[in-house]
Every structure is written in structure tokens, then in C-alpha cells.
Amino acid sequence: MDTLPKDVVLSVQDISISYLAHRGRTQAVNRVSFDLRKGETLALIGESGCGKSTLSLGIIRLLPKTGQIDQGKILYASRGGEVINLLDLNNRQLRDFRWAECAMVFQAALNSLNPVIRVRDMVYDTARAHGRTDREATRKRMLELFRRVRLDPDRVFNAYPHELSGGMRQRVLLAMGVLLDPQVVILDEPTTAVDILTQRTILEVLKELRESMGFSIVFISHDLSIAAEMADTVATMYAGEIVEIGPVNEVFYRARHAYTFGLLEAVPTLSSGAQDLISIPGSPPDLIEPPTGCKFHPRCPLATPRCAREVPPLVEEAPGHKVACFESAQVLAQSQRLAESQHSPAGL
């Protein structure tokens, strides 16, 4: 019987996920581990294709047919304190688990809604699938949630998806995500396709919901500023691996992995103009035949011959701050300089 520390609600332990492709097996997620505590918001950041979406689909066991979980455990502590390994669940149990315990809000808001049926039918479908046959109660709760995400409840409830704007749809998804009061909500790039004002609204209603309902969040983003605003913990993923994980301030102000640092440098800030934007040279690695040693080494400005030879282990270098980089000391020095420059007036 697996056990979890008292405040941990979700624990991903040594998970590997691969896809079967024509050329061979793609290692999309490689031995990833992390814990999510109650009420915690974990941001998974990284370039597209780094495996963060695969990881989230793996957690709710919704990988496409070509994908499979090769090893590891995903432990989940139910409200009753029972710890279950999600990989042991059968289809029926999985269906019950999804949404009621762990909801997921997908990236493309328009495409996540069935275009040919009304919002209310999707709501009723969801409720009925979890045994909540009292339509009136469902309706009342949904209208209340819509109100809380600042939507016109009656109109939205009876609307077809195409009758709603992008921002409205995203809020509909958020509200529907918490309909069944889940412990964990996975948000996959919830603000990607919306304008900056809508983005603010969404982040605000999300914070309000989190505050009032107390669920934990796995927040997937490539937008570091949003991650910084929302997250308690930040994990950087590169080529299917978590290369750095730690408390938000630790990671952002004292980054110890060259890749995380590269991402931070690439963030346009108010103080640095767009012309200063540094993107990381090179492209994400081939996951079928990944580079030897540290997978980031071909793109890393600090790489040494050792990086190409040995795989750096993930070690805890500061309290709660783990990193897999042989040159973490150098990176730390650079990131501290960066942090200072951004905070000093000289940066203007």
C-alpha cells in the first residue's frame, strides 16, 4: 500500500511516457517526479514539445493510443485519505476519477467545446456521467459558477460555443472545470489565445476560484510572467525531463539550470525592450535519438565536454530547489546578476 505525506494530494513518481512513431519510440517524458500539495499551484514551464502536455494527459490517463506510460507511479490522495495509484485504475474507475477529482482545462478553448451542442448539454453530460442526475441542482451550481467567473449565466448556459467569444469560452471551461469540486485542476496554457485584457480577467477569476475552493493547480505555460504570478512552485521541463524544480522565487531569481536561465532571459520585461529579447539558439532535441549526456548541451552556452558525456543527476542544491546541471554554480551567478539588473534603475 502506497502512502503519501499528509498534505500531498498528487505525487508523480518516476514517470516515463513514450510514443510509438514510425521511426521508433519517442521518449516524451523521462523519469519525471514531483509532488503537488493541497492548495499548491505548480507551474510546468518549457518550450513546446518539451513533454509538459504529455505529462498532464498522462496524469489523467488520456494519452493517445500510440502513447504509453512505461514506468513509474502516479499516486493520488482522495479526500477520504485513501491513496490510489492512478495507473491501477480500470476504465470505469478512471471515468469516475476524471473531472470529479482532477479536472483539466485544455489549451484551445474553442476546440474544447463540442460545436454542435449547447453549453448546458455539455454541463448536463458531465454531471450525469458522475451520477448527478438532478438537472436543476446542476443548473443552479453551474449558473453560480458562471456568475463567479463574471459571465452572464443564463445566456452562456443556453449558448452554443460559437456564440461566445474566446475569453468567454475560456471562462466557461474554467467554471466547468470546477463544477464537480475537484482537488486538482490542470490548466494547459489557459491564456495563450486571448488578448492581454482577457488574460488579466482569466487570471483574476482563477485566483478567486482557487482562494474560495482551495483546489491545487498544475499550471502549464510557456509564459514565465504568468507562471511567476500564479505559481508557488515552478518546474522547468526540457526534452521530457524536469531539469529544475523549486519555489517560485528560488527558481526565478536564483535559477541554477542553464535552460531555465535561457528562458528567463527570453522574457521581455517592461525594462528591457523587445530588441533585447534573447531567445535560446537552436531547436529542441530529437526525442527518438536524444543527445548524449545533458540533453541541453548542444544548445548550452556553458556546456563542457563532461556535459556531453554524463547525464547530470537532479540534486537538491537549496531547500526544495533541485537542479540537474553540472554548471549550476555559474548559472546561479549569472541569474543573480540578471535579477539585480532588472531591479536596478540602471536597467532602464
Partner 1 sequence: MEARPDIQVVDSQSAALWKTLRRALTGFTARTLLQGAITIWAVMTFTFILIRQMPSNPVQIEAERIVREEQLSYDEAYSRAAALFDFNPDQPIIEQYVEYLGRLVRLDLGQSITSAGTPVLDQILQYLPWTVFSVGLGLLISFTIGIFVGMAMAYWRGGILDNVVTAIASILFGIPNYIIALLIILILGVQLGLIDIANALGRVDPTLEPGFTPEYILSILQHALLPVFTYVAATVGGWILTMKSSTIATLGEEYVTAAHARGLSQWRVLTAYVGRNAMLPLVTRLAISIGFVVGGSVIIEDIYRYRGLGKFLVTAIVARDYTSMQGVFLVIAISVVFANILADVLYGALDPRVRVGGKER
Q: Which residues lie near partner 1 (CB under 8 A)?
A: 57, 60, 62, 65, 94-100, 103-104, 106-108, 111-117, 120-122, 125-126, 129-130, 135-136, 139, 155, 158-160, 162-163, 176
Q: Which residue has the cell 454541463?
A: 123
Residue whose CB is less far from partner 1, 32 or 104: 104
CB of 253 to partner 1, least distance (A): 35
Residue whose CB is less far from partner 1, 26 or 328: 26
Q: Which residues contact 191 (CB under 8 A, 6 or more apart)?
A: 170, 198, 199, 202, 203, 221, 223, 226
SS3 call for 14: strand
CB of 166 to partner 1, least distance (A): 14
Residue whose CB is less far from partner 1, 95 or 200: 95
CB of 226 to partner 1, least distance (A): 21
CB of 34 to partner 1, least distance (A): 20
Residue whose CB is less far from partner 1, 173 or 248: 173
Residue whose CB is less far from partner 1, 123 or 242: 123
Closest CA to 242 of 333, 316, 331: 316
Distance CA 17, CA 319 (A): 28
Distance CA 63, CA 105 (A): 15
Element (H, E) at 232: none
Q: What is the 3-state secondary structure (H, E, C) of 129-158?
A: HCCCCCHHHHHHHHHHHHHHCCCCHHHHHC
SS3 call for 19: strand
Distance CA 273, CA 140 (A): 48
Amino acid identity of residue 189, one-letter, is E
CB of 300 to partner 1, least distance (A): 34
Residue whose CB is less far from partner 1, 108 or 288: 108
CB of 141 to partner 1, least distance (A): 15
